Amino acid sequence: MAKPEELWQCQVPTCGYIYHADKGDKKGKIPPVTRFEDLPEDWKCPLCGAGKHMFKPLA
């Protein structure tokens, strides 16, 4: 199970995508076990295209 601090949710109301640090982001070519903080600055939400600044931790 992922720790809550490894789950980050997209704050776009119509999106709600959750980034799982233990899974990474296959579409964005992010390998599993990549912390949100370690994502490239130009990483975008795979669902709605929002930038990292639109994400908040679920914890």
Sites of contact with Zn ion (CB under 5 A): 10, 12, 15, 17, 45, 47-48, 50
Q: How far is the CB of 5 from Zn ion (least distance, A)?
A: 19
Q: Shortest Cβ distance from residue 26 to Zn ion (Å)?
A: 16
**Amino acid code (one letter) for 46:** P
Burial class (CB in 10 A: 0-12, 13-18, 19+), 34: buried
SS3 content of the chain, % helix, strand, coil (to 5): 15, 25, 60
Closer residue to Zn ion in complex, CB, 7/50:
50
Residue number, 16 or 32, with CB nearest to Zn ion: 16
